[in-house]
């Protein structure tokens, strides 16, 4: 029985970017080597709200496109944020449990706040706590760019203990936000790449970083709690 448990991959909920989709994120993530993706049970979810404007992905990937939540132009007021979290919780209840969350762009902004909101008992309280996050082109609510939705008010009020892996692109317009997000986690690991606001392919050194992160967390969770058998 013990050997059977050890074969289980980390089950990860994947949250796509602004006006993207689960299918688009899946195509981009599976450009990564099988040596990485083969060790993960990746579940891709479409956000609950249809895109309310033109997607930057039009012409590159087919529609439909979705948004996790909406805001005003300067990101000081947020709409449908509570509904978004309820939607994710419902999906996790029906399809979990999940070990971690992977997010890109808007999905990473949301994913970064989940451990803190769960810690404070204000969101996703009906599902097990997320054990780690992988954040690609992420940002912090309350950082340089984004204000703070009410439910995320205290998400970063104290350092987040959850293991975290952060992707920082040299030419990413959100790079500064990503660097500030690093400071919110107790022991963040970083994948540096030369691209911009995108999901990069992985070179050999970054494959090593990812495999190390996966192995470390797989080992930790096998020792602590059983991994998902779903």
**Does residue 229 carry a pLDDT above 50?**
no
Per the listing, tokens 């691209």 go with 195
Looking at the chain, the whole-number percentage of residues with pLDDT higher than 70 is 92
Q: Indicate the pTM of the whole model.
A: 0.91
- pLDDT, one tens digit per residue, over 167-198 is 999 999 999 999 999 999 998 999 999 999 99
**Does residue 7 carry a pLDDT above 60?**
no
Q: What pLDDT sits at residue 175?
A: 96
- Other C-beta atoms lying within 10 Å of the C-beta of residue 111: 26
pLDDT band at 8 (very low <50, low <70, confident <90, very high): confident
Backbone angles phi, psi at 48, to 5 degrees: -75, -20
């Amino acid at each position: 029985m013990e050997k059977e448990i050890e074969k289980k991959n980390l089950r990860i909920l994947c949250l796509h970017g602004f006006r993207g989709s689960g299918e688009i994120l899946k195509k981009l993530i599976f450009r990564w080597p099988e040596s990485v993706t083969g060790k993960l049970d990746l579940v891709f979810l479409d956000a609950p709200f249809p895109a309310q404007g033109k997607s930057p992905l039009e012409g590159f990937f087919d529609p439909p496109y979705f948004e996790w939540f909406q805001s005003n132009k300067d990101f000081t007021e947020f709409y449908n944020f509570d509904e978004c979290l309820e939607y994710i919780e419902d999906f996790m209840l029906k399809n979990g449990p999940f070990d971690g969350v992977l997010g890109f762009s808007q999905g990473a902004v949301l994913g970064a706040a989940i451990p803190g909101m769960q810690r404070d008992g204000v969101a996703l309280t009906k599902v097990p706590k997320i054990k780690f996050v992988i954040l690609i082109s992420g940002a912090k609510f309350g950082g340089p760019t984004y204000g703070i939705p009410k439910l995320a008010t205290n998400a970063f009020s104290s350092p987040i203990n959850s293991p975290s892996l952060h992707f920082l692109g040299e030419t990413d317009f959100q790079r500064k936000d990503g660097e500030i997000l690093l400071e919110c986690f107790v022991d963040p690991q970083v994948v540096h790449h030369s691209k911009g606001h995108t999901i990069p392919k992985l070179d050999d050194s970054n494959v090593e970083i990812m495999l190390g992160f996966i192995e470390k967390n797989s080992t930790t969770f096998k020792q602590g709690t059983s991994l998902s058998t779903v």
